[in-house]
Amino acid sequence: MGRAPFPSGSSLPAGAGIPPMPGAAARGLPSQMQPKKDGPEQRTLVVGRGISVQGTVQDAERLVVEGTVESSMITAKELVVMPGGLFRGGVEVENAEIAGTVDGALTARGGLTVRGSGRLLGKAACHRLKVEDGGQITGQLEMLAEGSGSAKTADSAAEPVKAIEG
């Protein structure tokens, strides 16, 4: 009754027509933004160019924004905003890498990197900060104290923020 999808003499290679597994290849990502290869594969949500997402995101360990994301609060391990990408709203992550625009509230319990094309508008808190030449931060920046939930405001006179060369 049934027949094979391709005749046995088909010139198509085995697996043709089967899309690659998500996360199998990171195409179009600059070398410094390639996903980490060590450890188990993370649950990744990629919002592609020209795509707009509004609402909540749950259970994504890694969020890659090439289009537009608007959300009241997202919690993930990693946020990557690609050049041309826009994240508007609130996000709490371990590490964030911004090459596009973040407009809202960002907390990075680990490191925050603002690439040369990146813009951060609003309120941000992080433990480690790296801003490449050309990267912009406009708003309030807090440096999280090591080993505690307390924060100190970068514009306070208590301790100046030191530039990190990379």
- Residue-level pLDDT at 156: 39
Residue type, 160: P
Residue type, 107: T
- Residue-level pLDDT at 40: 62
Could you tell me the two tokens for 136?
């912009």
46 Cβ contact partners less than 8 Å away, ≥ 6 residues apart? 64, 66
Please state, in angstroms and rounded to a whole number, the distance separating the CA atoms of residues 35 and 96: 13
Answer for the pair 123, 106: CB distance below 8 angstroms, yes or no.
Answer: yes
- Residue-level pLDDT at 2: 52
Name the phi and psi angles at 136, rounded to 5. Answer: -125, 135
Q: Which burial class, exposed, middle or buried, applies to 25 when counting CB atoms under 10 A from its CB (0-12, 13-18, 19+)?
A: exposed
**pLDDT (tens digit per residue) in 94-140:** 999 999 999 999 999 999 999 999 999 999 999 999 999 999 999 99
List, for the chain, all residue ranges whose pLDDT scores fall below the cut of 70.
1-40, 147-166
Which residue reads 């946020």 in tokens?
79
